Each structure stands twice: as C-alpha cells, then as structure tokens.
Structure 1
Amino acid sequence: EFADAPIDTKTTMDYITPSFANKAGKPKACYVTLVRNKELKGLLSSIKYVENKINKKFPYPWVFLNDEPFTEEFKEAVTKAVSSEVKFGILPKEHWSYPEWINQTKAAEIRADAATKYIYGGSESYRHMCRYQSGFFWRHELLEEYDWYWRVEPDIKLYCDINYDVFKWMQENEKVYGFTVSIHEYEVTIPTLWQTSMDFIKKNPEYLDENNLMSFLSNDNGKTYNLCHFWSNFEIANLNLWRSPAYREYFDTLDHQGGFFYERWGDAPVHSIAAALFLPKDKIHYFSDIGYHHPPYDNCPLDKEVYNSNNCECDQGNDFTFQGYSCGKEYYDAQGLVKPKNWKKFRE
C-alpha cells in the first residue's frame, strides 16, 4: 500500500541551504538571550562587550526571552544599552513546564539525590533551561523571521575587536554552526544520552550525513561517547538546523526518553551531537579569531597577527583550546586542521 508513497530523500542541508541563496543580501539574523530580570547587571556587562566589539559596526536586532514578564526597569536599561532594535518575549508555558509523560515525583527524587553529586544536580530550573534551549528557543515567534542567531549570555566577555560581519561571513561561506569553546561533559549528567542518540541514528540512518564529524564525538566510531561537545553558551548558527525534520525528531525522541529531567542532559551535548552527525563536517566552524570568555574559560586567539590586529585584551596563556579538559585537539584532529605550533605547551 506504500508503494507509491514519495520517499523523502532530503538531507538536513536541504532544509538549510535556501538561507544561503541571497549571499549578497543582509543576513536575516539576530542576537538571542534567555535571561531573567535578576540577571540585569550581568547582561548589561555582556551587552557592553557586544556593542563595543561588533554591534556598533554591524548592527543586528537583539531578542531577549524570559519565562516571566520583563520588568519596565529591565526593558528600559537594555533598550538604552543596545544600539540596534530590541525585542522582548515571554516563553509559552508549554515550553517551560513538564510534559505529561514525566513523573514529577520521580524527577524530584532524582534532583534531591543529585544535589550534592554534580553541578546543578538539584536544580529544577536548570533542567527546564536545558530542555528549552534544546527544543524550543528556535520555535519562539520572535525568531520566526530569522535564519541566523548569535547566543549571548550574561557575564560573558568579548576580548577582541571583530572587524567583519560574522553573520554575513557565515552566509557567504555556507557555514551552519559556529563555536568558540569545546569541552568534555560530566558523564554523570548524561549516562544514557549517547545510547539514546545512537538508537535514534539506527532507526533513522538517513539523517546521518555521510561526511559527518563523528570522530569529534567518539574515539571508536560511535560505540562510546568521548564526552566532547561545543560549549553552547556561545553559538552562531543557522536556525534551520534545529527546524529540520532530523533535529525535530531527534529532540522529540530525547524528550520522550525523559533524560532532561531524570538525568541532567544539557543543551550543549544535545546540540553538538546533532550538529556533528546531521551536518557535513565542513559546515561547522571554530572561531579561533573571536576572543571570548564565559566563566571560567577563555578563547583567546593564539595567532599573534590576529591577536595584535584586533586589539585583543586576553592572556594567550589562558587560552582553553588545547588544555586537557578541552576538546580542541579532538576537533582539530577530526577536521584535519593544522594545530598551532605551540599547542602542546597547554597540555603540560
């Protein structure tokens, strides 16, 4: 009976590629920040860095999202601090609440047990945040008109001048996912995430891109997870990656598995596994030239010319890229990139 049914042979890239069509035009892009009223001070600090280092030169709208209404004080201060258009949105309740299949008593017991075992182990709101960033921020109505976003969090720093339009660079070079920091995850927070992901791939092999970046995630071709992921507090990416059928189905599978609440699955490994497996590896880009800080790690350009010409204010000796807990070495190896001459000194 299904003999005449059309077979969907589209890859994830087929859903993203139209956003590259107008390379000469201004990208449909925005900054996006999930933030609470109480985080205003840290946010204003981040805004100052973004404004001074890039947004005054290449302005784009900024979307602020909150699970509660923003105060007038917050909106006034932020609007004054940002030189471009600002938009404020509230999350739909169904995006920041328990789905019906989650046993909340079980979830509470797990949080109580995990409270002293790992960071945010006892936090309910952190789990809602990870689930939201994984499966819902890109569905917010304020983001519907955009193809690209740059995620900015409170208390980050940009260390260097950015003298080019990053969104335009992504569009012209047909990049889909950009990051600055990669790192190993705490295994105790995601004990079943990898197996769940591999089971999904086995059921949906068509979603695995033939030129994927599996070797960044696994040292044994997928049998086990090496815990490497892109640190998602900084992301410059194409929203159509998350809107694609592959990612929607992947998230839905994870969501029904319950790991956001019964474990503490982070959006960073979720995004990273999806990007590395569903995309050709040449669509993923490491911004080695963007000096970035999110406590406690730095991405500080190691190239002296880049460092000097962009007035970088960071200590190159603190760069995290090749330190032991980072996944910079794994990324360079997986992409076949040449590592900087002095990279080994960071492993000592």
Structure 2
Amino acid sequence: MELELGGHGVGYRGMCRFRSGPMFMQPVMSAFDYAWTLDTDGYFPADILSDPFERMWREEKVYSYSHVSRDQASAVQHFWEFCRLYFESKKMDPKSTKMMRRITDALVLRDTYWHEWNRVLFMNDIEITKLSWFRGQQYQDFFSFLDSVGGFWLYRWGDHAVRTIAVAMFLDPALLM
C-alpha cells in the first residue's frame, strides 16, 4: 500500500527517514568527520571562496544550513506533539534553550505558558553536518523515539524538521555556521 498523504509516496518518506538517522550510521560514513548533502534542486547563489569543511573544523562548528523556511502544516502533522512527549519523558524544557525560543511561539493556555513550534526549519537542501554529533547518543535517541512512533511513514515527517528540532534543542547556537 502506498501512502499518498500530501502527495509524497513511500520512497520519499523512506528517504526522509534515512536522512534523519540511519544515514549517519552507515559504515561507509565512518571514515568521515563531516558530510555535505545537496538536494537535486539546491544551488549556490555565489562562488564558494573558502573551504567550508576547514572552516567548520577550525571553528569547531557542528551544523551548517543554507537558509530558514517554514514547513507546511500538512508535512508535520503531530510532529511537535511527539517532540514534546519525548522532551517531557526526558524532563527537558523546550523553552530552556535560546534557539528553541526562536522557533517556538509562546501561548497562554489556562494560565500556563506553553510553546508551540512555529514550523520554522533550518533547510538542509545544502547542509554540512559534523557526523560525530549526529551519530551521538543524544541525537540518535531522539531519532529512535520519533522513528518508533511511525511518523515518517504515516505523516511524511521530513528530515529537515527532525534536525531543526534536535539542533535547536541540543546544540549551543555558537556551534552553527
């Protein structure tokens, strides 16, 4: 049975899942410190004048992305609810990090503050990742939880959403380029 919710089939959903977690754990990737991923429609609006890998290594950066965008609500159905469930199970407060406050909107519900993700994404159509961080226990535990609820297959959760929330929740902003 092919799921067509939002016009994205099983192959696309599998790619999103792969790029969210298993990609980092592939044996062929173990020889590398960084990975540069490019989508087929990604492009560079200007010449690249320096080596981005050397800069990330020199400045001890973990993640580099091309731009920020906002995802369609239909592409992230129930995603934030499961992220919140994960954070609650780990006794983490999404309001506690500077980057999470930037990508969430404060809401007042019954006299308590709650934050909702505003669907802002660090777009990864052109990105560089420090593989050791994405292979690490914290990121892989987060991915494994999301994978266990089936959202990649049922709702078409994208890899950019997973990495955005993980980066915003777990990384210091100084580690981004």
Query: What's the TM-score, normalizing by structure 1?
Result: 0.46
Tell me which residue corresponds to 1:203: 89
Question: In proportion to residue count, which structure has more helix?
Answer: 2
Structure 1 alignment gaps of length 5 or more: 1-104, 286-348
Q: Cα RMSD between the aligned structures?
A: 2.1
Tell me which residue corresponds to 1:19: none
Structure 2 alignment gaps of length 5 or more: 107-112
Q: Among residues 214, 227, 245, which one is paired with 2:100 in the alignment? A: 214
Alpha-carbon spacing, 1:159–1:190, altered in 2? closer, same or farther (3 Å):
closer
Tell me which residue corresponds to 2:23: 137
Matches of 1:153 and 1:173, distance apart in 2: 25
Alpha-carbon spacing, 1:268–1:243, altered in 2? closer, same or farther (3 Å):
same
Q: Among residues 30, 35, 53, which one is paired with 1:149 in the alignment? A: 35
Matches of 1:171 and 1:181, distance apart in 2: 21
Whether 1:284 aligns to 2:176 is yes
Q: SS of 1:215's equivalent?
A: helix
Q: SS of 2:31's equivalent?
A: coil
Tell me which residue corresponds to 1:13: none
Alpha-carbon spacing, 1:222–1:165, altered in 2? closer, same or farther (3 Å):
farther
Q: Among residues 80, 100, 121, which one is paired with 1:229 in the alignment? A: 121
Runs of 4+ in 1 over 4 A off after TM superposition: 206-212
Whether 1:182 aligns to 2:68 is yes
Tell me which residue corresponds to 2:130: 238
Identity %: 26
1:198 and 1:222 in contact (8 A); partners too: no
Question: Structure 1 residue 240: deviation in Å?
Answer: 1.6
Q: SS of 1:236's equivalent?
A: strand
Question: In proportion to residue count, which structure has more strand?
Answer: 2
How many pairs are equivalent?
A: 171
1:209 and 1:280 in contact (8 A); partners too: no
Matches of 1:227 and 1:245, distance apart in 2: 25
Alpha-carbon spacing, 1:208–1:247, altered in 2? closer, same or farther (3 Å):
farther
Within 5 A, what are the aligned runs for 1:59-74? Answer: none
Q: Among residues 262, 267, 270, which one is paired with 2:162 in the alignment? A: 270
Matches of 2:154 and 2:136, distance apart in 1: 26
For residues 154-211 of structure 1, give each alpha carbon's deviation from its aligned partner in whole angstroms, at most 9, with x where no partner exists.
2432232222111111111121111112111111121211111111112224697965
